Amino acid sequence: PSRMRGHRFGYGFLLCRMKRWRKGGWIPLDKKMKKFLLADIFLLVFLFLLSSTDFLLRERKMDIIRIAVLTDMPAGRQLENFRMGVAKAAAEWNVDVSFSSLADMRTGEEKQAAVQRELETGCRGIVLQCRDSRHAEEALESVPVGVPVVLYDSETDSARVRVRIGGNAEEESRLLAEAVLTGREKGESVTIVEPVQKSWYMEQLHGLTEERLREAGVLVRRLSLGETSAVETLLKGMAAQGGNILVSGDISVLQALGEANTEGIPVYGAGFSGAVRGFLEKGTVRGTVVHRDYEAGYLAVEGAARILQGKGAAEETVVVESVLVTAETLRDKNVESVVFPYI
């Protein structure tokens, strides 16, 4: 009867008949070997089910969040640092990032179309850097209200903007003005050179720098430059006139000034690139203020990811720090951590 119960309700009937071969004939298995054999059978069945069906384990589908980063920064070290920060944050927050350049787009309509293309491909968050505040405003017009926007180095009153990231114009103007005043000889005037299209932040930086220099008794002029190709004529005229210092918070203008400055005119500015580093070493640029673009790129993507993952706070403003870079400080650890943050 006990054998019949094992046969009907369990594995007793099977186990009691399991045998192994030994020289001289078959002998019954002991309890230990029966346990190993059953474990192997169960493992094979489990692996079969796992490979052929998701009945036991269903693959967890990951909700991949896609964030579009659009910037009109010109090519150079600043853009590289910004992109490295974006990539770092994307990896740590497990988001997919598309990176688009707006540098060759001259109108707000073109930039708006670029943003719209990103939305049509499924992006759920926008990081925008746009030097012209009017263009930034236009670019965001097509963004649905539910899509969070992180704005970097730009200004707009759009209600879609959840996080604003930028440098401290007060601090950067102080660093820039102090550098000019330290290197200035008595009687030298300052000309602030700016492009026709300038960002809200650059307008702040130039205005505050002008204010500080005027308070120090320096004659300051503002000059709007239509094309960077005109800097050679500008530099020759300044050299002939004598007693001038040139300042620009635009990286494209700063690079053009450094490239064409064969007259030894003191040039200061804001922004950094491989070319600017060479100009600092040659002396055609005396100093430049640089803010932490790597940190800004990281914080921009982090801000969008936090909101989309339900971890974000209300609208906030994030300020990134800046340093003055000169030929003498170029290899200081504090400066290297800004211009080469990923080394």
Helices and strands (H, E) in the chain, number of each type: 13, 14
Whether 339 has a pLDDT exceeding 80, the answer reads: no
pLDDT given at position 9? 44
Give the residue, 172 or 230, on which the prediction is more confident.
172
Q: Is the pLDDT of residue 12 over 70?
A: no
pLDDT at residue 153 greater than cutoff 50: yes
Residue 83 pLDDT exceeds 60: yes
* pLDDT score of 231 more than 60: yes
The per-residue pLDDT for range 96-141, each reduced to its tens digit, is 999 999 988 888 899 999 999 999 999 999 999 987 778 888 888 8
pLDDT of 158 above 60: yes
Q: What span, in angstroms and rounded, lies between the C-alpha atoms of 252 and 166?
A: 19
Lowest mean pLDDT among 49-58, 112-121, 248-257, 310-319: 49-58
**What pLDDT, on the 0 to 100 scale, is given for residue 50?**
65
Tens-digit pLDDT profile for residues 44-60: 777 776 666 554 444 44
Residue 92, CA distances (Å) to 88, 97, 298, 340 in order: 6, 12, 10, 20
| Residue 41 contacts residue 48 (beta carbons within 8 Å) | no
Distance, in Å, from the CA atom of 156 to the CA atom of 143, rounded to the nearest integer, reads 14
User: What tokens were used for 100?
Assistant: 């688009």
Q: How far apart are CA 66 and CA 64, in angstroms?
A: 6
Q: Is pLDDT above 60 for 252?
A: yes
Place of tokens 């690139």: 273
Residues 273, 293 contacting (CB under 8 angstroms): no
196 contacts 252 by C-beta, under 8 angstroms? no
Report the pLDDT value the prediction gives residue 247, as an integer from 0 to 100: 96
> How does residue 167 score in pLDDT terms, banded at 50, 70 and 90?
confident
pLDDT at residue 116, rounded to an integer: 93
Q: Is the pLDDT of residue 18 over 80?
A: no
Q: Sorting pLDDT into bands at 50, 70 and 90, what band is 30? A: low
pLDDT reading at 261 higher than 90: yes
Q: How far apart are the first and last CA of the chain?
A: 79
Q: Is the pLDDT score of 325 beyond 90?
A: yes
Whole-number mean pLDDT of the chain? 83
Place 334 in a pLDDT band, splitting at 50, 70 and 90.
confident
List Cα–Cα distances, 104 to 74, 75, 107, 132, in angstroms: 9, 11, 9, 13
